[in-house]
Amino acid sequence: MATKIEIIKGDITQVTADAIVNAANSSLLGGGGVDGAIHRAGGPQILEACRQIRNRQGGCPTGEAVITTAGRLPAKYVIHTVGPVWQGGNKGESELLASAYLNSLRLAMENKCQSIAFPNISTGVYGFPLAKAAQVVHQTVSGFLNNNPAALRTVIFVCFDEENYRLYQQLWHQPDH
Rounded distance, CA 94 to CA 111, Å? 26
Check if the beta carbon of residue 84 is closer than 8 Å to that of residue 93. Answer: yes
Least Å distance between CB 1 and ligand APR?
28
Which residues are at the interface with ligand APR (CB under 6 A)?
A: 11-13, 23-25, 31-37, 83, 119-126, 158, 160-161, 164
Nearer to ligand APR (CB atom), residue 32 or residue 129: 32
Least Å distance between CB 101 and ligand APR?
12
- 176 catalytic? Reply is no
Cα dihedral 123/117/65/42 (nearest 10): 100
Of 11, 18, 35, 161, the active-site residue reads 35
Nearer to ligand APR (CB atom), residue 10 or residue 149: 10
Least Å distance between CB 78 and ligand APR?
12
12 burial type by CB count under 10 A (0-12 exposed, 13-18 middle, 19+ buried): buried
Nearer to ligand APR (CB atom), residue 42 or residue 67: 42
Rounded distance, CA 168 to CA 100, Å? 18
DSSP single-letter state for residue 129: -
Residues with catalytic function: 35
